[in-house]
Amino acid sequence: MRISFAAAEVAPYAKVGGLADVVGSLPQALAALGHEVSVYLPLHRSIDVVKFAIPAKSARTHSVPYGAAHARIAYPEITRDGVRFVFVRSFRIGRDKVYGYADDAKRYALFCRAVLADLEETKPDVIHAHDWHAALLVQLAARSRKLPGSATVFTIHNLAYQGRTSADVLRLVGLPRSRLAVEGRDEANPMARAIATADIVSTVSERYAEEILTPEFGERLEGLLRDRRDDLWGITNGIDTTFFDPSRDPHIAAHYTADDQSGKAVCKAALQTETGLTVQPSAPVFGVIGRLVEQKGVDLLTAVAPWLLDKGGQLVVLGAGDPTYEQRWRELAQKMKGRLALTLGFDAALAQRIYAGSDMFLMPSRFEPCGLGQLISLRYGTVPVVRAVGGLANTVRDIDGDARGNGFSFTKYEAAGFADAIERALHRYRAGGQPWLALRTRAMREDHSWKASARRYVEMYGAAAKARRAA
């Protein structure tokens, strides 16, 4: 099949969170299965065109209708690991940051219109749009007379961000204003439009696919999602196991494998030294990496942190996000020097060293479409302690309920439950010996590569093509 992806962020070119990891690794897995994949992303100003040899000058261009005028778009591209990456270049779209501007809705609407212009020439079998930034592409493609044979798939990576904006944006890209029931007056909801229009809708874990049908997780789109229930798929994300690999990761102090984990202790000591923690081999080190936003359970983390440090734990936190949460962590870190190491900001290399050097990884999310932190942790033999919600529930099995478990979990969103899970983890860690080693080994041996999930995506594309033919 010929499959075209569109997304706002793609690793390693531009990354804010898990979306970039997925769109940066699933295409290669599909290419390995014999499919022809291209990936469209904006040419953000932060993308290093020299390092990635992106031929900005020799690109083809299209003149794309945009409101009353036209926008000139260039499409420089490179091929890597058998996948074509097409960078959509326009001064109206490219900025230093991927998100966070008042006109994000317009930037991404133009991105969608620009991708459509190119796809109308290549006419892929499947157009696969990711999250709200690429959502209007689904409706544009469905209405295009030049793309009658292209099936559309829309994947929800996070239902909480829908891109709701003024309906003016529709006029800019030539879409009708006719409203969906969930849209307010003069409002456009790109994510809702893609859910209503795509041949197939999917999300990034089986559990989240069920949860979003309920008011608790549905973000007010549960009714619309229930209407599409028969076309809604849940496929759990994989990770790039070549990139996330403790036996060859260039960023970590020592390499190790499931068979010989001695290097992990070296990574731990190096992490303690680097982040200013007391260098103590026996102290349990807990890692936290993620956006500091309500979704990630930051209030539970800050509530249990003092208790955890009193119990002799050490905490390494890397994240950026909500200024109120950042300030709260700053204050805690001030008080707990030597036991709590805080890095505010985005640092992919430090993230690898935390995954490798920690004993346990904390992820008490309020909701979690899939979550990649726990998968990367497992790969590095770092035992996850998570809330059993969304993709975390699909990928982490509590060892206290399952002898073949790979971590610890709790159900209710409460500090007491989280503390209890940590306490059980601490108990097993301190008991140490063969059982702890066996737990780590099992975690490291699990297969969280794209192998199985990529096949499910292919099945889903088949269902999308069939739905398109029927339509």
Q: Binding to ligand ADP (CB under 6 A): which residues in 155-174? A: none
Interface mask toward ligand ADP for 250-289; x: CB under 6 A: ---------------------------------------x
Residue with smaller CB distance to ligand ADP, 47 or 147? 47
Residue with smaller CB distance to ligand ADP, 199 or 211? 211
Among 161, 346, 413, 436, which residue sits at the site for ligand ADP (rule: CB under 6 A)?
346
29-37, 105-113, 346-354, 405-413 -> range binding ligand ADP (CB under 6 A): 346-354
15-23, 71-79, 276-284, 412-420 -> range binding ligand ADP (CB under 6 A): 15-23
371 binds ligand ADP, rule: CB under 6 A:
yes
Residue with smaller CB distance to ligand ADP, 38 or 236? 236
320 binds ligand ADP, rule: CB under 6 A:
yes
DSSP lists the bridge partners of residue 343 as 318
Residue with smaller CB distance to ligand ADP, 26 or 289? 289
Among 6, 153, 175, 318, which residue sits at the site for ligand ADP (rule: CB under 6 A)?
318
362 binds ligand ADP, rule: CB under 6 A:
no
Among 125, 206, 326, 347, which residue sits at the site for ligand ADP (rule: CB under 6 A)?
347
- Closest CA relative to residue 277, chosen from 244, 243, 313, 307: 313
Q: Which amino acid is at 272?
A: Q
Q: What is the 3-state secondary structure (H, E, C) of the chain?
A: CEEEEECCCECCCECCCHHHHHHCCHHHHHHHCCCEEEEEEECCCCCCCCCCCCCCCCCCEEEEEECCEEEEEECCEEEECCEEEEEEECCCCCCCCCCCCCCHHHHHHHHHHHHHHHHHHHCCCEEEEECHHHHHHHHHHHHCCCCCCCEEEEEECCCCCCCCEECHHHHHHCCCCCCCCCCCCCEECHHHHHHHHCCEEEECCHHHHHHCCCCCCCCCCHHHHHHCHHHEEECCCCCCCCCCCCCCCCCCCCCCCCCCCHHHHHHHHHHHHHHCCCCCCCCCEEEEEEEECHHHCHHHHHHHHHHHHHCCCEEEEEEEECHHHHHHHHHHHHHCCCCEEEEECCCHHHHHHHHHHCCEEEECCCCCCCCCHHHHHHHCCCEEEEECCHHHHHHCCECCCCCCCCEEEECCCCHHHHHHHHHHHHHHHHHCHHHHHHHHHHHHHCCCCCHHHHHHHHHHHHHHHHHHHHC
Quote the CA–CA distance of 96 and 89 in Å, as a whole number: 13
Closest distance to ligand ADP from the beta carbon of 47 (Å):
17
393 binds ligand ADP, rule: CB under 6 A:
no
Binding residues for ligand ADP, how many (CB under 6 A)? 19
Closest distance to ligand ADP from the beta carbon of 344 (Å):
8
Q: Which residue has the tokens 């529709």?
A: 170
Question: Backbone phi, then psi, for 78, in 5-degree steps?
Answer: -135, 160
146-154, 255-263, 314-322, 431-439 -> range binding ligand ADP (CB under 6 A): 314-322
Cα–chain center distance at 427:
32
Residue with smaller CB distance to ligand ADP, 122 or 295? 295
Among 159, 316, 351, 464, which residue sits at the site for ligand ADP (rule: CB under 6 A)?
351
372 binds ligand ADP, rule: CB under 6 A:
yes
Residue with smaller CB distance to ligand ADP, 124 or 369? 369
Closest distance to ligand ADP from the beta carbon of 452 (Å):
18
Q: Which residue is nearest to ligand ADP (CB)?
A: 18
Q: Binding to ligand ADP (CB under 6 A): which residues in 96-155? A: none
Among 12, 17, 218, 417, which residue sits at the site for ligand ADP (rule: CB under 6 A)?
17
Among 228, 291, 424, 456, which residue sits at the site for ligand ADP (rule: CB under 6 A)?
291
Residue with smaller CB distance to ligand ADP, 124 or 290? 290
Among 7, 14, 21, 43, which residue sits at the site for ligand ADP (rule: CB under 6 A)?
21
Pairing of strands 383-387, 408-410: parallel
Give the binding site for ligand ADP (CB under 6 A): 17-19, 21, 289-291, 318-320, 346-348, 351, 370-373, 376
